[in-house]
């Protein structure tokens, strides 16, 4: 067991270089990803004057689906307030047909998305962020530093029962040039189905 524990510590230390922390910049910002409108879009290209919202999400996950309407509303709204917004699907569509590009187009249209919903074709953008599940949210300030990481609110299942609007509050703070009061939150979600490395 000691060997297993030692291995765990070693791997955790190695992995510590992978996960994004508060204050970190945007990794792989220049990587172009295919948007549902057919154009190639990078995080850098959508970067907003007041901040940038990066959301790892997908079509098939019940938690992502529970929050998708709220995320669409927040993205569409805050995009008009100086926040660049991009939704990224890093799942291997070979494993989940629901996460195919065509189904992403259907989902984006159904939600009335006015922000890019793109394919992370290698899953490397998710790896660079250290994102492990969907939905997982990263909000950067005007200087491109991570100021909020976590979830949308405190109740995926029942929107009417939400008492903590974490993401809305963080976005409002960033638009005002302030640091969000709550900077890290957690919620359950579906593990990202990473594409295999060649």
Partner 1 sequence: MRSARPFAAVLVLAALVLAGCGKIDREPPVSTAPVAAAPELTPVAAEQLRDVLAARRGKVVLVNVWATWCPPCREEFPDLLRAYHELQPRGLDLVLISADFEAQREKARAFLTGLGVGFPTFLKTGPDGMFIEALDPGWSGSIPATLVLGRDGTKRAFWDGAASYEEFRNAVEPWL
Residues that bind partner 1 (CB under 8 A): 1, 4, 7-8, 11-24, 61-62, 66, 92, 95-96, 130, 132-133, 151, 154-157, 164, 185-191, 193-194, 196
For residue 158, the minimal CB distance to partner 1 (Å) is 9
CB 158 within 8 A of CB 145: no
Closer of 111 and 136 to partner 1 (Cβ): 136
DSSP 2-43: HHHHHHHHHHHHHHTTTS--TT---TTTT--EEETTS-EE-H
CB 56 within 8 A of CB 136: yes
Pairing between β-strand 40-41 and β-strand 33-35 as defined by DSSP bridges: antiparallel
Give Cα separations from 73 to 51, 78, 180 (angstroms).
17, 8, 20
For residue 154, the minimal CB distance to partner 1 (Å) is 5
The DSSP H or E segment spanning 126 is helix 124-129
For residue 55, the minimal CB distance to partner 1 (Å) is 15
User: Which tokens sit at 120?
Assistant: 């992370």
Closer of 31 and 190 to partner 1 (Cβ): 190
For residue 160, the minimal CB distance to partner 1 (Å) is 13
Closer of 116 and 141 to partner 1 (Cβ): 141
The DSSP H or E segment spanning 95 is none
Closer of 146 and 173 to partner 1 (Cβ): 146
For residue 136, the minimal CB distance to partner 1 (Å) is 8
Cα separation of the two ends of the chain: 32
Closer of 11 and 49 to partner 1 (Cβ): 11
For residue 152, the minimal CB distance to partner 1 (Å) is 11
Closer of 50 and 164 to partner 1 (Cβ): 164
């Amino acid at each position: 067991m000691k060997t297993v524990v030692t291995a765990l510590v070693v791997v955790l230390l190695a992995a510590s270089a992978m996960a994004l922390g508060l204050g970190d910049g945007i990794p792989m910002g220049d990587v172009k990803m295919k948007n549902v409108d057919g154009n190639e879009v990078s995080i850098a290209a959508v970067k907003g004057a007041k901040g940038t919202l990066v959301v790892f999400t997908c079509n098939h996950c019940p938690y992502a689906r529970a929050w998708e309407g709220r995320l669409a509303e927040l993205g569409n709204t805050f995009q008009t307030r100086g926040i660049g917004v991009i939704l990224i699907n890093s799942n291997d569509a070979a494993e989940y047909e629901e996460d195919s590009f065509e189904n992403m187009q259907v989902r984006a249209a159904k939600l009335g998305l006015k922000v890019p919903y793109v394919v992370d074709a290698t899953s490397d953008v998710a790896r660079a962020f250290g994102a492990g599940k969907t939905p997982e949210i990263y909000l950067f300030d005007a200087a491109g530093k991570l100021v909020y990481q976590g979830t949308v609110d405190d109740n995926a299942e029942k929107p009417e029962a939400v008492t903590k609007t974490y993401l809305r509050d963080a976005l409002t703070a960033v638009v005002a040039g302030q640091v969000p009061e709550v900077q890290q939150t957690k919620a359950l979600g579906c593990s990202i189905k990473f594409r295999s490395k060649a």
